């Protein structure tokens, strides 16, 4: 019962916020963008931070989820469950998200398998290859719109739904990190040989980390497409994967708190710059500059963090542990 209480509370709170803020379109758009990036960062952190593997193909899983969900929603666009009104749309939306997540999880399983044999750089190259292969396949599949992508995906997404998924992702990461079975992931990160010697089936755990992580990346993709309405393969390229890696490295590999914070700040920063430039000179060329300076800016930021605090802003610390310690001291 206690396990479900936080979920119920979060759902109610988000629903209330939705009623309050739902009409501010730009806010909802920004919040959704941030939310999707938080889900991506927190889920990638399960592989890269907790398990200590190095995946740089997270955008690939997101793409699989986004395209799967889009195709489903486009196909069922005209179908309604009689008598349910907008609720019918939301039911189809949840189904699309679940399908997107499942398809990505399947890919996660397949990509996770080579991690049985490969370590470090080699695994990184496999995940990178996976991400690029997905993008190239989509680009060359006419039924998926080729390089132009898919458009007209129904805009089912809401502020509440995005942040409910954010909440669930964080909850899953947190409960995994602090349960004994999930803790085996930390053991793999710390010392794989010792973990094996202590009866931890390291390959099974690694594959599972990939499956869970890819599932949430797929759901993030599904959410993304349902508020963007248009998706193109270029949105899921290598730089997107790197952005997510930057989030978790800056936040602190292994820290869910760090992943969330960095994803929020680093998503809002370019948006803030863009609106700033928009306010100065109303022409759009300055906004385009933001995208160009964003990448070198991230690079510089990462170098500074690596020099000043190699373990990332939060290290492996969590906000909720701080709270726990305070309580224990009191």
Partner 1 sequence: MSVGEVILEAKATSITFGGLKALTSFNLQVKRGDLKGLIGPNGAGKTTAFNVLTGVYLPTSGDVEVCGERVNGRRPWEINRRGLARTFQNIRLFKSLTALDNVRIAVIANTKPLFARDRIARLRSGSSMNRVAAKVLDASNNYVDWWRALLKTPGFLREEAELTARADALLEVMGLSHRRDEQAKNLPYGEQRRLEIARALGTQPKVLLLDEPAAGMNTREKADLMVLIRELREKFSLGILVIEHDMKLVMGICEHITVLDHGETIAAGDPAAVRADPKVIEAYLGEAPAHA
Crossing angle of helices 202-228 and 180-190, in 10° steps, is 100
Position among 47, 56, 161, 200 found at the interface with partner 1 (CB under 8 A): 200
Say whether residue 195 binds partner 1 (CB under 8 A).
yes
Position among 8, 86, 197, 329 found at the interface with partner 1 (CB under 8 A): 197
Measured CA to CA, the distance from residue 60 to residue 79 in angstroms comes to: 29
| Tokens 């490295």, located at residue | 249
Measured CA to CA, the distance from residue 299 to residue 317 in angstroms comes to: 24
Closest distance to partner 1 from the beta carbon of 197 (Å): 5
Query: Considering beta carbons, is residue 4 or 26 the nearer one to partner 1?
Result: 4
Position among 180, 279, 280, 330 found at the interface with partner 1 (CB under 8 A): 180
Size of interface with partner 1, in residues (CB under 8 A): 31
Query: Considering beta carbons, is residue 145 or 258 the nearer one to partner 1?
Result: 258
Measured CA to CA, the distance from residue 2 to residue 328 in angstroms comes to: 20
Q: For the chain, state the CA radius of gyration.
A: 20
Say whether residue 198 binds partner 1 (CB under 8 A).
yes
Measured CA to CA, the distance from residue 199 to residue 140 in angstroms comes to: 45
Angstrom CA distances, 268 to 38, 159, 247, 251, 307, stand at 12, 16, 12, 15, 24
Position among 44, 128, 172, 219 found at the interface with partner 1 (CB under 8 A): 172
Please give the sequence-ordered ranges of beta strands (E in DSSP) within 213-306, or none if there are none: none
CB 71 within 8 A of CB 144: yes
Query: Considering beta carbons, is residue 164 or 236 the nearer one to partner 1?
Result: 164
Say whether residue 329 binds partner 1 (CB under 8 A).
no
Say whether residue 182 binds partner 1 (CB under 8 A).
yes
Closest distance to partner 1 from the beta carbon of 176 (Å): 6
Position among 27, 75, 191, 284 found at the interface with partner 1 (CB under 8 A): 191
CB 248 within 8 A of CB 259: yes
Closest distance to partner 1 from the beta carbon of 215 (Å): 12
The contact set with partner 1 (CB under 8 A) reads 2-3, 171-172, 175-176, 179-184, 186-187, 190-191, 193-202, 204-205, 208, 212, 316
């Amino acid at each position: 019962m206690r396990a479900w209480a936080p979920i119920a509370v979060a759902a109610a709170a988000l629903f209330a916020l939705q009623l309050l803020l739902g009409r501010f379109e730009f806010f909802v758009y920004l919040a959704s963008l941030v939310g999707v990036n938080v889900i991506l960062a927190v889920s990638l952190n399960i592989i890269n931070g907790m398990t200590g593997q190095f995946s740089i193909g997270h955008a690939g899983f997101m793409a699989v989820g986004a395209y799967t969900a889009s195709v489903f929603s486009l196909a069922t666009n005209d179908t309604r469950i009689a008598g349910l009104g907008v609720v019918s749309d939301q039911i189809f939306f949840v189904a699309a998200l679940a399908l997107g997540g499942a398809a990505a999880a399947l890919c996660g399983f397949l990509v996770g398998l080579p991690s049985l044999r490969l370590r470090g750089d080699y695994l990184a190259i496999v995940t990178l290859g996976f991400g690029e292969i997905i993008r190239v396949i989509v680009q060359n599949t006419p039924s998926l719109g080729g390089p132009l992508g898919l458009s007209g995906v129904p805009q089912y997404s809401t502020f509440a739904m995005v942040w409910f998924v954010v909440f669930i992702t964080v909850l899953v990461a947190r409960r995994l990190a602090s349960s004994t079975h999930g803790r085996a992931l930390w053991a793999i990160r710390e010392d794989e040989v010792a973990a094996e010697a202590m009866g931890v089936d390291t390959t099974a755990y690694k594959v599972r980390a990939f499956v869970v992580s890819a599932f949430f990346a797929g759901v993030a993709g599904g959410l993304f497409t349902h508020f963007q309405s248009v998706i193109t393969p270029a949105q899921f390229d290598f730089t997107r994967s790197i952005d997510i890696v930057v989030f978790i490295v800056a936040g602190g590999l292994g820290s869910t708190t760090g992943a969330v914070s960095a994803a929020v700040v680093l998503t809002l920063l370019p948006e803030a710059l863009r609106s700033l430039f928009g306010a100065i000179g109303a022409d759009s060329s300055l906004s385009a500059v933001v995208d160009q300076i964003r990448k070198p800016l991230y690079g510089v930021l990462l170098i500074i963090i690596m020099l000043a605090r190699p373990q990332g802003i939060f290290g492996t610390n969590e906000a909720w542990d701080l709270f726990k310690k305070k309580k224990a001291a009191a």
